[in-house]
Amino acid sequence: MTKQILIIDDEASIRETLSGILEDEGFSPLCAESAEVGLTILEEETVDLILLDIWLGDNMDGLTALEKIKEIYSLPVIMISGHGTIETAVQATRKGAFDFVEKPLSYDKIILAITNGLRFAQLEKENKILRDRTSKVTKIIGESEVIKDLKAQIERVAPTDAWVLIRGDHGTGKELVAQAIHRHSLVTDHPMIAVNCAAIPEELIESELFGHEKGSFTGAHSSKRGKFDQADGGILFLDEIGDMSLKTQAKILRILQEQKFERVGGHKTISVNVRVLAATNKNLEEEIEKGNFRADLFWRLNVVPITVPRLCERLDDIELLVRDLMKRLVSRGLGNKKFSNNALRLMKRHSWPGNVRELRNFVERMAIMCPSDIISEEDVTLFLSPGTGAPTPSQHPEAMRPYEAASFKDAKKYFEKEYLTQKLNENNGNISQTAEQVGMERSHLHKKLKSLEISS
């Protein structure tokens, strides 16, 4: 895609000269005669690099504008000036400028500075993507037949540009499948932009997806790029698509078909090239019958359907999953503990209605609450919630050590309070994030916190 370079200079002749140079080199120039106009353009356009004059004949000079730009945007800024001094150059560098070019401008110097700036920005972008990948769980663990089949489907569809509808129960790992598709796709150097359709209020979802213009509604103090815009050239992941309202479904269908949209409150048509991955835990065919989901949107998304198996369909993977989860807990300083063979056999008899998310929470619970380095069958019996094929909990004195002589009900309450308090602290008191992490509905978690007398 053509790189857009923003020129901020109060001299019309400089803007004209630089625009001609950039066009000759295959760039798309944008021009602003003042810092204020430049900041407005940044809100409305996707800019890859900025050429910024230090001495601007308005209320805001270049160094002040540089500070404001670096506060909001991660863009390379090249300062240009006809009155350059070493002191000014040092000051600009300290404020975040990538380079400093003096007037009269040399064609070769300016192109070299722009080329280096864009290369630096690309490296920064690739490093961020790499950091994001390594900081998240992106690997699908398991060697069962259903998981081997799942991995094979991902390998076949990932290198194409086909849209994928990922289906599966809560906690099965639908987002991991989307991440794996992105990792093996042809646009892996672009970030995957994710949207949780269930977590965004109805009145804000259009702004979130399509962006908005300044002043388009109360609270829109500046323009904002939407998720579709951010995903241009890459992948947009629409999670929990089944929770989207019919009104938004109609709008998103048109955009998916045309790959064009307008921001909320705007009139400019924006074209994008986006590959869409969608995920849902709902039976969309049933939702269509009920009138809750558009059939035309379903057929648009359902190009390649992939179903993620439930944990009860792949119980042979539990040992591998537990081993991987324990490694992650060790990296967080929770201690290196192991489950005994009998404990693992007992866990394979549980129905795991919460799937891998429930298993993850349970393993963390055991790592925190069990005093021994070996987690036994008795420990699992005590802490595993009853379910299909699960044993009835019984007392285990060793595991009860933190609260000796307590009843099972008291022990359970003690653990819940300790566990949820820790999770709240990890999420800085954010109930929505905590609910997502522990696999509970937000309203259910709120009631639980109230019953346990935990302040949020």
The average pLDDT across 233-252 equals: 91
Least confident among 28-32, 249-253, 330-334, 368-372: 330-334
Query: Higher model confidence: residue 390 or residue 262?
Result: 262
| Domain 4-131: which CATH number of 3.40.50.2000, 3.40.50.2300, 3.90.1110.10, 1.20.120.420 | 3.40.50.2300
Q: What pLDDT is attached to residue 1?
A: 65
Compute the distance between CA of residue 141 and CA of residue 386 in angstroms, rounded to an integer.
25
| Domain 136-309: which CATH number of 3.40.50.300, 1.10.10.10, 3.40.50.10860, 3.30.930.10 | 3.40.50.300
Query: Higher model confidence: residue 263 or residue 416?
Result: 263
Instruction: Look over the chain and give the mean of its residue pLDDT values, rounded to a whole number.
Output: 85
Tokens of 359: 């298993």
Q: What pLDDT is attached to residue 155?
A: 96
User: Is residue 409 very low, low, confident or very high in pLDDT (cuts 50, 70, 90)?
Assistant: low
Q: Flag whether pLDDT at 207 surpasses 80.
A: yes
Q: Flag whether pLDDT at 137 surpasses 60.
A: no
Q: Do domains 4-131 and 136-309 have the same CATH topology?
A: yes
- 3-class DSSP assignment, residue 102: strand
Tokens of 409: 């009900």
The average pLDDT across 391-420 equals: 53
Query: Higher model confidence: residue 435 or residue 48?
Result: 48
The average pLDDT across 136-141 equals: 70
Give the domain ranges of the chain: 4-131, 136-309, 312-451
CATH for 312-451? 1.10.8.60
Q: Alpha carbon of 106 to those of 101, 102, 120, 138: distances in Å?
A: 9, 8, 21, 47
User: Is residue 179 very low, low, confident or very high in pLDDT (cuts 50, 70, 90)?
Assistant: very high
Nearest of 65, 146, 84 to residue 316 by alpha carbon: 146
Q: What pLDDT is attached to residue 411?
A: 64
User: Is residue 185 very low, low, confident or very high in pLDDT (cuts 50, 70, 90)?
Assistant: very high
Tokens of 156: 């076949």
Q: Flag whether pLDDT at 304 surpasses 80.
A: yes
Q: What pLDDT is attached to residue 410?
A: 63
| Cβ contact 213:264 at 8 Å | yes
Q: Flag whether pLDDT at 390 surpasses 70.
A: no
The average pLDDT across 368-376 equals: 88
Nearest of 193, 291, 297 to residue 241 by alpha carbon: 297
Beta strands in 1-141 (DSSP E): 4-8, 28-32, 49-53, 77-81, 99-102
| Cβ contact 21:111 at 8 Å | yes
Beta strands in 204-253 (DSSP E): 211-212, 224-225, 235-239
What percentage of the chain carries pLDDT values higher than 70? 90
Q: Flag whether pLDDT at 248 surpasses 90.
A: no
pLDDT digits (tens, 9 = 90+) for 42-87: 887 889 999 999 888 767 888 899 998 988 888 999 998 876 667 7
Q: Flag whether pLDDT at 387 surpasses 80.
A: no
Q: What pLDDT is attached to residue 396?
A: 37
pLDDT digits (tens, 9 = 90+) for 264-282: 888 888 888 999 999 999 9
pLDDT digits (tens, 9 = 90+) for 211-232: 888 877 777 777 788 899 899 9
One-letter amino acid of 158:
A
| Cβ contact 177:155 at 8 Å | no
Q: What pLDDT is attached to residue 126?
A: 74
pLDDT digits (tens, 9 = 90+) for 320-371: 999 999 988 887 777 788 999 999 999 999 989 999 999 999 999 998 888 8
Compute the distance between CA of residue 423 and CA of residue 436 in angstroms, rounded to an integer.
11
User: Is residue 134 very low, low, confident or very high in pLDDT (cuts 50, 70, 90)?
Assistant: low
What is the per-residue burial (b if ≥16 Cβ within 10 Å, else e) of 52-65? bbbbbeeebebbeb
Tokens of 341: 């063979």
Q: What pLDDT is attached to residue 130?
A: 63
